[in-house]
Amino acid sequence: MDYGIALAFLGAGLAALVAGIGSAIGIGIAGRSAAGVLSEKPERYGQMFIMVVLPGTQGLYGFLGAFLVMLKMNFFGAGGLPEISVPLGCQILAACLPVALAGLVSAIHQGKVCAAGILMAAKRPEMAFKAGVIYAVFVELYAMLGLVVTMFIILMGIDWPEVAAAAGV
């Protein structure tokens, strides 16, 4: 068994899975609040929609981190998977952790901020964007930073000699 490839795929899988779990929880939190408001005021759907979907972006960031790993491993290429050493597999796994963990935590907290914004917008619709969305974007910033760190490590911090040689790069 090639443990290096297994570690690399574990990192890619965790990036997508853990950030995706956070997004699902965050959307669930915001969605429950929006459903309650919309049962009384269905005309506010447009205001609620953006705050419900905002926590879903962290799952996309995790997917992007996983996709970058698979691209660097030539997963989609015709030449097959290259040999990846265990130390390189550990580096790839570690590179995926910032987007995975930042995505998990920030999506859950963003869902809570969005839920509060939704409840506030139910009584003061003029504040929906000012407070509801803007506050949620501040939480989003930390998921973005996790993605940027993961991207920097994957694209510039890891020496991919075996991968480059096998892919003919």
Q: Range of 37's domain?
A: 3-167
End-to-end CA distance of the chain: 25
Q: Look at residue 160 in the predicted model and tell me its pLDDT.
A: 78
Max Cα separation, the chain? Answer: 62
Tell me how far CA of residue 90 lies from CA of 9, 12, 95, 158, 159, in angstroms: 10, 11, 8, 11, 12
pLDDT in tens, 116-158: 999 988 888 888 777 788 999 999 999 999 999 999 999 998 8
C-beta of residue 136 within 8 angstroms of C-beta of residue 121: no
pTM of the model: 0.89
Quote the DSSP letter at residue 38: H
CB-based burial, 119-135: b 16+ in 10 Å, e otherwise: ebbbeeeeebeebbbeb
Q: Look at residue 17 in the predicted model and tell me its pLDDT.
A: 98
57 token code pair:
């972006």
pLDDT in tens, 100-109: 999 999 999 9
Query: What beta strand segments (E) does 53-134 contain?
Result: none
State the total domains in the chain: 1
Q: Look at residue 122 in the predicted model and tell me its pLDDT.
A: 84
Total length of the chain: 169
Write the CATH number for 67. Answer: 1.20.120.610
